[in-house]
Amino acid sequence: MSPPIVVDTGGLLRALAGTRRGRPSFPDYEKALTSASLVIVPGPVLAEVDYFLRDNRAAMRRLVAEIFDPRTRYEYELPLPSDIVRALELDAKFSGLDLGLVDGTVAAVAERRRIFRILTTDRRDFGAIRVGASLTQPLELLP
């Protein structure tokens, strides 16, 4: 098992995407997800995934069932009020990136939990931001 990860919307969607033959569409993302010892899903990410899966309700129901099954490695993370405030601070600090609330919350949860490995497709934004009290901690982007 690899260390814990925090998932972003694009990374989670790619990790779950499969071909008609049941193979992963993005094997590197699928491997990063399935090999992590813990997968943290921030609440806003789940809401955004729901939006993208609006035409595939069965897939969304399966994902929710798996996330909330206590036997899985998933952990649903409701953002604290301080995470929302921090997300907005990060959005303002890195204003040239247009992080927004969801990406900002992913970074804030990662910062609070001290889990700096992020499964994401958004390499530009997550590669540029830094977290921590002095904004010096880079995020490790997966895959």
Summarised one tens digit per residue, pLDDT across range 46-93 is: 999 999 999 999 999 999 999 999 999 999 999 999 999 999 999 999
Amino acid code (one letter) for 29:
Y
What residue spans define the domains of the chain?
5-142
CB-count exposure of residue 127 (10 Å: 0-12, 13-18, 19+) = middle
Amino acid code (one letter) for 28:
D
Which candidate, 27, 17, 35, places its Cα nearest to that of 117?
A: 35
Q: What is the pLDDT of residues 7-24, one digit of tens each?
A: 999 999 999 998 889 899
Amino acid code (one letter) for 88:
L
The verdict on domain 5-142 having CATH code 1.10.15.40 is no
Angle at 30 between CA 57 and CA 6, to 5 degrees: 85
124-130: average pLDDT = 96
| Average model confidence (pLDDT) across the chain | 96
Compute the distance between CA of residue 19 and CA of residue 36 in angstroms, rounded to an integer.
22
Compute the distance between CA of residue 134 and CA of residue 143 in angstroms, rounded to an integer.
26
pTM, rounded to two decimals: 0.95
Per the CB < 8 A criterion, the answer to whether 135 and 93 are in contact is yes
Quick check: 109 pLDDT over 90? yes
Compute the distance between CA of residue 20 and CA of residue 32 in angstroms, rounded to an integer.
21
Per the CB < 8 A criterion, the answer to whether 111 and 132 are in contact is yes
Which candidate, 23, 25, 29, places its Cα nearest to that of 7?
A: 29
